[in-house]
Amino acid sequence: MRTTITLDENTHTFASYYAHARGLTLSAAIDELIRKAQAAPAQIQHSPHGFPIFPPTGRTITSEIVKQLAEEEFDPEQFA
């Protein structure tokens, strides 16, 4: 099916890098990402204060980790 969509600039950049890293067209990459989102858990739980609660991964996200990530430059390879 052919359709036209408008993407946020960051979303377009991400989808373009994703497509390039996998050797896909942009359309195929967006289709794949949407299908992956459909297969993901349906509900994100929220705390009583409205913040999303993520499933435990065994790692604690500290303020030092957040600061380090904020100081790093965007590396599209991390999303590939």
> Could you report the per-residue pLDDT of 42-55, keeping only the tens digit for each?
677 788 888 888 77
Mean pLDDT for 21-32 is 95
- Phi first, then psi: give them for residue 45, nearest 5 degrees: -80, 150
- Between CA 5 and CA 24 the distance in angstroms is 18
- pLDDT band per the 50, 70, 90 thresholds, residue 60: confident
Question: Domain-by-domain residue ranges, the chain?
Answer: 1-40
pLDDT at residue number 79? 58
Has this prediction a pTM greater than 0.85? no
Q: What pLDDT sits at residue 76?
A: 63
Specify which residues 46 forms β-bridges with. 52
Mention every residue, 6+ apart, whose C-beta is less than 8 A from residue 55.
Answer: 41
